[in-house]
Amino acid sequence: MSKNYKIALLPGDGIGPEIMQVGVAVLRAIAPQFEISFSFETALAGGAAIDETGHPLPAETLSLCQSSDAVLLAAVGGNKWDTLPSELRPEQALLGLRGGLGLFANLRPAKILPQLIDASSLKREIVEGVDILVVRELTGGIYFGKPKGIFTDEQGVRRGLNTMVYSEMEVDRIGRVAFEAARKRKGVLCSVDKANVLEVSQLWRDRITKMSQEYPDVTLSHMYVDNAAMQLLRWPKQFDTIVTGNLFGDILSDAAAMLTGSIGMLPSASLGEPGKPGLFEPVHGSAPDIAGRDLANPLAQVLSAAMMLRYGLNEGAAADRIEAAVMQVLDAGKRTGDIMAPGCEQLGCKAMGEALLAALA
């Protein structure tokens, strides 16, 4: 009997709807090849939801996601909503989904594709062969810590306050995900913190070090975040799997992404407890400057759909098929503007989608 998966689609803003169309077309195309089927339901999130309902993450959207097998998101945000108070900005949709679905583990692979080495801003010998997985804690740390807010004291002085806090439980569960991921890769894990200054990092380091006793096959090292930022640019090949907290992971995953030349190529997975729906989305944003002009690169969205199959639905073979199709179109010299190179053929978003469908046929 063929398996049916209920997928919540959140196209969001900017280039979101265009790239989502390609992602869905690819999923539809591979489904019969693997005897699976999808029931897609689209919901509002981000700026689109603000315009329609006044809120970036309407309750119906969250409950649809909670009752789905997986959530595929494109991108949210845009200048139009940037002046709203922070609790009403499109980004709140992401934070609300992360919190509401308990998505504590964010996997952000940054793998340089041989076809795109020259798109990197770094020298070929530095980036060739780079294959890094950033495991970012996603529902704790300074993003969610309390107390938080802007307060006025008795002297009338305003202070902005956020709290960077991790419990042992939070460190342990992200540590577990990272050690397991490293074990399936090269068995090398670097934990990034700021333990020379922050107590929260000292606890982090302590727990990760303890856990390493359970993983004698994984080589663990620790690095301060400032050094990690530098090492990512200096010699990125020293890294295999990186585990870090929410804020450091936000910053380092962008840096790691850029090693590959275009953030337009990178997918991500956000996972919670086993059996609960995960959320899959490109690392890039909504790119309002090119929205609606058929210029966007849909490949990160397509690769996010592949991650959904692999990590969210346990359909690894179907994920392999999609990833192979992406490699095939790149091998054929097909490129969107962001990854264009001399001698290649430049395509728009739609045409790139059609090339993928042809590769999958």
Positions touching ligand IPM (CB under 6 A) are 91, 94-95, 250
Q: Residue 323 binds which one of ligand IPM, Mg ion, none, with CB within 5 to 8 A depending on kind?
A: none
Q: Which of 5, 13, 69, 143 is catalytic?
A: 143
Least separation in angstroms between CB 250 and ligand IPM: 4
List, in sequence order, every residue forming a beta bridge with 32; answer none if it has no partner.
Answer: none
What dihedral angle (degrees, nearest 10) is formed by the CA atoms of 229, 222, 264, 283? -110
Q: Residue 91 binds which one of ligand IPM, Mg ion, none, with CB within 5 to 8 A depending on kind?
A: ligand IPM
Backbone angles phi, psi at 6, to 5 degrees: -90, 120
Closest CB to ligand IPM: residue number? 91
List, in sequence order, every residue forming a beta bridge with 152; answer none if it has no partner.
Answer: 158
Nearest residue (CB) to ligand IPM, 136 versus 334 = 136
Catalytic residue list contains 254: yes
How does 58-80 read in b/e, with b if 16+ C-beta sit within 10 Å? beebbebbeebbbbbbbbbbbee
Catalytic residue list contains 143: yes
Nearest residue (CB) to ligand IPM, 23 versus 249 = 249
Q: Which of 13, 69, 240, 250 is catalytic?
A: 250
Q: Are strands 149-152 and 158-161 parallel, antiparallel or unpaired?
A: antiparallel
Backbone angles phi, psi at 202, to 5 degrees: -65, -40
Q: How far apart are CA 132 and CA 204, in angstroms?
A: 21
Q: 316 vs 35, 240, 323, CA distance in Å?
A: 13, 21, 10
Closest CB to Mg ion: residue number? 250
Least separation in angstroms between CB 324 and Mg ion: 29
- Nearest alpha-carbon partner for 323 in 266, 269, 279: 266
Least separation in angstroms between CB 244 and Mg ion: 13
Least separation in angstroms between CB 152 and ligand IPM: 26
Least separation in angstroms between CB 281 and ligand IPM: 8
Q: Which of 51, 226, 289, 331 is catalytic?
A: 226
# residues near Mg ion by CB under 5 A: 1
Tokens for 270? 């956000």
Catalytic residue list contains 226: yes
Q: Are 24 and 40 in contact (CB under 8 A)?
A: yes
One-letter amino acid at 36 equals I
End-to-end CA separation in angstroms for the chain: 23
Nearest residue (CB) to ligand IPM, 94 versus 355 = 94
Catalytic residue list contains 153: no
Contact with Mg ion (CB under 5 A) among 137, 170, 240, 250: 250
Q: Residue 266 binds which one of ligand IPM, Mg ion, none, with CB within 5 to 8 A depending on kind?
A: none
**Interface with Mg ion by CB under 5 A: which residues?**
250
Catalytic residues, by residue number, are 143, 194, 226, 250, 254
